[in-house]
Amino acid sequence: MSVNVPQDVDLREFVVPDDETGRRLDVFLAGHMPKWSRSQLQRVIRSGLVEIGARPALKTGEKVEAGDRITIRAEHQAVHAVAEDLPLEILYEDDDLAVVDKPAGMSVHAGAGTKSGTLVNALLFHLGGGLSAVGGQLRPGIVHRLDKMTSGVILVAKNDVAHRVLADQFKSRSVHKHYQMLVHGRVESDQGRIEASVGRDPVRRVQMKVGGIGAREAVTLYRVVRRFHHFTLVDAEPQTGRTHQLRVHFAYLHHPVVGDRIYGAPGKVRIGPQERATLDRNFLHAAQIEFAHPRTGATMTFTSPLPPRLATFLGFLEKQDR
């Protein structure tokens, strides 16, 4: 039975009746929210946005009991994505995959508060709908993701076989990704390994944190490329693919990514004799990806140059260091 909460708001509550005790949480919610797919609900549960009583639900298969009060806070999305004529830089394309240079400011797919203007919308237009269906109708072709304010190379699958092969490569950690990032402060070690589990922030649910809700193993390798007076340019290679992993890991070390005010970066810094604004985007760029072609097995490597806005900021720092 459903508590009397309006259908058009993000908050919905349900009380489990006697005849549904022992049912899986995702199955229970799917039965009471017919406009949502079960896979959508599973993603919401894993994001920590469903509560049983006063505690977050952490498993999609968790069993519910009679009298449990289930609360879900999420915005329902469209059933499928639509094609939009948006600029898109395709670095490579064949019958199995495409490699795209995503700009900062573009979400990979629809989500809470984002209905259009995404990479998926652009892909559907430019590739004529030739994308894998493994990720569902809202995320066709999407094998991995980049944050909205992160730019750089992203890999897209054009059929289900390629998608599954590439997904297995990500799972086995045989895909190598390198990110260029500028962080605040002086990173002392020339290279290092950050090993700190990442989960959902229990207070700020759109954020992640070390040791948060449902924390999972997260490993990042890094090396220092250059040090400036107040910043460090880093090459980072995530070994795992947790949400916001690089941003969370370096903020955890008290070296937040420049421009990333969500994770503690200041909006202004003193450089030389004056204070100036930093960036209105994160200085985080997916510079390179290496993987095995899903059909031929050949090693493929693609790179993306630093976007002009980031290169200009870096050039300014170099002049100040002379």
Question: Which tokens belong to 140?
Answer: 């066709």
Q: Map residue 311 onto helix, strand or coil.
A: helix
Please write the tens of the pLDDT for every residue from 192-245. Answer: 999 999 998 888 878 999 998 889 999 999 999 999 989 999 999 999 999 999
CA angle 302, 308, 311 (to 5 degrees): 90
Average pLDDT over residues 125-146: 88
Which residues participate in catalysis according to the annotation? 147
Look at 8 and 214; give whichever has higher pLDDT: 214
Question: Which CATH number is 89-171 given?
Answer: 3.30.2350.10
Q: State residue 53's pLDDT score.
A: 87
Report domain extents, the chain.
Answer: 11-73, 89-171, 176-293+316-321
Average pLDDT over residues 5-19: 68
Q: Which CATH superfamily is domain 176-293+316-321 in?
A: Pseudouridine synthase (3.30.2350.10)
pTM, entire model: 0.78
Neighbours of 3 (CB within 10 A): 12
Q: Mean pLDDT for the chain?
A: 89
Q: State residue 4's pLDDT score.
A: 36
